[in-house]
């Protein structure tokens, strides 16, 4: 038997908040976390990566900045998504969200705040524990500091920077649209209010 290595890479996590020192570091051991049937849905974690883009090329102090969000293509159909996925047994929800941003979208940044929990159904999560495929995703705001030239899923993912209104129009899933419109936008408005 021969084994062919298609791609080899190393992923480093840069987290903006101090980690709980009692938790072991991420080892890459992926096991789906199961809950008692009917008690709690499977958990997913993700983020809404964003940046500020100056509308005025001169970059003066009074120049207006627009917020753009980063979305990725779906590998299973039309529409765009935010990075999200499951989590490792030994990582926090924040670590999982940061890891998904690196793996799926190839971006690093500062994980700023939790923007909400959102329920959805997933055919890939239908099993004896959750026949309806019920899931709940914890979503965070991630201020992008670096776009990687090479990342784990780059062969299947295309990144797109969009304004919030463009992102709402192109969002594949209603729950992600809700996370953007009501979670992220509400958080952003509150953030702007406290900084002005």
Q: What's the pLDDT at 25?
A: 35
Q: 163: which residues sit within 8 A by CB, 6+ positions away?
A: 66, 67, 68, 69
Tell me, what CATH number does 95's domain have? 3.90.79.10
More confident residue, 68 or 23: 68
> Pick from 87, 5, 6, 1: which is nearest to 47 by CA?
87
Q: Is residue 29 part of a domain?
A: no
Q: CA quadruple 124, 127, 132, 135: dihedral positive or negative?
A: negative
Q: Is residue 90 part of a domain?
A: yes
Q: Is residue 1 part of a domain?
A: no
Provide the whole-model pTM: 0.73
Q: What is the pLDDT of residues 174-187, one digit of tens each?
A: 988 999 998 899 99
Q: Structural domain tally of the chain? A: 1
Q: Sorting pLDDT into bands at 50, 70 and 90, what band is 33?
A: very low
Q: Is residue 14 part of a domain?
A: no
Q: In this structure, are residues 84 and 133 in contact, taking their beta carbons and an 8 Å threshold?
A: no
Q: Is residue 11 part of a domain?
A: no
89 CB neighbour count, 10 Å cutoff: 12
- How would DSSP label each residue in 84-131? EE---TT--HHHHHHHHIIIII-EEEEEEEEEEEEEEE-GGG-SSS-T
Range of the domain at 115: 42-195
As given in the structure block, the two tokens for residue 105 are 């979208």
112 CB neighbour count, 10 Å cutoff: 16
């Amino acid at each position: 038997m021969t084994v062919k290595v298609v791609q080899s890479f190393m992923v480093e996590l840069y987290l903006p908040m101090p980690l709980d020192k009692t938790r072991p570091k991420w080892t890459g051991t992926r096991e789906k976390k199961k809950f008692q049937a009917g008690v709690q849905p499977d958990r997913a974690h993700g983020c809404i990566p964003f940046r500020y883009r100056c509308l005025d090329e001169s970059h003066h102090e009074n120049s207006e900045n627009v917020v753009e969000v980063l979305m990725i293509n779906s590998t299973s159909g039309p529409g765009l998504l935010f990075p999200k996925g499951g989590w490792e047994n030994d990582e926090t929800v924040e670590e999982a969200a940061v890891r998904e941003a690196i793996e799926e979208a190839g971006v690093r940044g500062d994980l700023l705040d939790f923007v909400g929990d959102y329920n959805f159904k997933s055919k890939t999560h239908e099993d004896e524990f959750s026949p309806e495929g019920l899931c709940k995703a914890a979503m965070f705001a991630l201020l992008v500091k670096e776009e990687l030239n090479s990342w784990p899923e780059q062969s299947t993912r295309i990144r797109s920077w969009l304004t919030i209104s463009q992102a709402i129009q192109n969002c594949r899933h209603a729950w992600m649209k809700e996370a953007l419109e009501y979670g992220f936008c509400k958080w952003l408005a509150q953030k702007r209010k406290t900084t002005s």
